[in-house]
Amino acid sequence: MKQWHRAYKKLYIWLFAAAAVAALCTLLRPVRPVMNALARYITTPLKTALARLCALTSVSVAEVLLLGAVAAAIFALAHFVRRLVREKRRGRTVYRFFLTALCIAVTVAAAMNLLWGVNYHTDSFRQRAGITARQGTAAELTALTAYFAAGVNQTAGEVPRDEHGVFAADRQEILDRAAAVYESGWDAFPSLRMATLRPKAFVCSRALTAMDFTGFYFPFTGEANLNVDSPACFLPATAIHEMAHQCQIASEQECNFVSIAVSIQSDDPLYRYSGWLTGYLHTANALYKVDKEAWRQLRNTLNAGALADIEYNNAYWAAAHTAFTDASQTVYDSFIKSSGDPNGVQSYGMVVDLLLGYYG
């Protein structure tokens, strides 16, 4: 038995080191100065360097790595089953396989904690930007929703549409414009300054749709990845959202705010409209919960093109919804909470509090 365990000494050392890093990051979470220094001087520069390297190709390196990981997992499982059938000492085979799998899982968790989790415990974007989130009255929420509805109506006629009246801008063109739009928000929000890199289209976007994702930031490569199969009207604002994650902002609430605020102040009509529409959708959803009549009256004032976009978006996601969607969102909710945001996926909708604090 001792010889057996000595044979796996390197795996034990690997597991201990990875677990120690994960534990250290977790224990240091309450120490804000340490988290700020770690993010500023180590993790953010590292992720920026990775993003610059990955920017040498238009292909999403994150997607390649994820698909490679799936293929490797399938191959490893098949190899494990093969050895299990052929070898007599099955106990050792099983032990080594699960010990190796545990080492990999803990290493990924430690790396995620180091490269991403620390950002939940640094100075927030709202602190750096001097923005205060607040809840408003029904009247204030109605006024804010009306403000975004007016912006939607003003910009809805400036974007290309198909024969059904639905937003029809070229998705690649949207991604190509993202860096310039993001940079246009630096004057209003200096803390957003970073080395801007164009977000990337995720080829397997149907898989993201099945998980109810419009995009994601991959800290292991520093890339912002976009679901280019989902309705294009929200793609511009989503691009800014994912780029905000590249700038040491972990909170989904804050990234939603950045996507709206930066988009609506830009000179790009595609991004302006997407920002106003995104802001309207969030505020209208909040208003619906407190005053359905006010919500109905404002919705009736919307431009026909905007209504077509909202209806198309609703139909798209409704058609894609399955039990797998619910399961993936449950896992994602747990991931966000374990990273340091107790609100989980609900944090996306909490952007209304920031909008009230800034525009209300």
Q: Model confidence over 274-308: pLDDT tens digits?
A: 999 999 999 999 999 999 999 999 999 999 999 99
pLDDT at 29 over 60: yes
Looking at the structure of the chain, the number of domains it has is 2
Among residues 64, 92, 121, the one where a domain terminates is 121
Contacts of 109 (CB under 8 A, 6+ apart): 18, 22
Q: Same structural domain for residues 149 and 202?
A: yes
Contact (Cβ atoms closer than 8 angstroms) between residue 293 and residue 145: no
With left for phi above 0 and alpha for psi between -120 and 50, is residue 160 left, alpha or beta? beta
Q: Same structural domain for residues 93 and 190?
A: no
Contact (Cβ atoms closer than 8 angstroms) between residue 197 and residue 56: no
Q: Same structural domain for residues 7 and 148?
A: no
Q: Same structural domain for residues 190 and 277?
A: yes
Write down the pLDDT at residue 328. 81
Q: Same structural domain for residues 214 and 352?
A: yes
Q: Same structural domain for residues 171 and 263?
A: yes
Among residues 121, 156, 171, the one where a domain terminates is 121
Q: Same structural domain for residues 225 and 264?
A: yes
State the first-to-last Cα distance of the chain, in angstroms, to the nearest integer: 69
The helix-helix angle for 235-245 and 252-264 (nearest 10°) equals: 130
Q: Same structural domain for residues 140 and 178?
A: yes
Q: Same structural domain for residues 226 and 339?
A: yes
Contact (Cβ atoms closer than 8 angstroms) between residue 248 and residue 232: no
Q: Same structural domain for residues 250 and 163?
A: yes
Write down the pLDDT at residue 340. 67
pLDDT tens track for 152-172:
999 999 999 999 999 999 999
Write down the pLDDT at residue 344. 60
Q: Same structural domain for residues 87 and 187?
A: no
Mean residue pLDDT across the chain: 91
Per-residue CA distances from 138 to 26, 189, 291 (Å):
40, 29, 7
- Residue that has been written with the tokens 């209300």 in this structure: 360
> Letter for the amino acid at 57?
T
- Structure tokens, 216: 């994601």
Q: Same structural domain for residues 136 and 114?
A: no
Among residues 121, 155, 175, the one where a domain terminates is 121
pLDDT tens track for 231-254:
999 999 999 999 999 988 999 999
Angle at 325 between CA 47 and CA 169, to 5 degrees: 65
What is the domain extent for residue 80?
Answer: 2-121
Per-residue CA distances from 168 to 100, 173, 205 (Å):
48, 11, 18
Confidence bin at 89 (pLDDT 50/70/90): confident
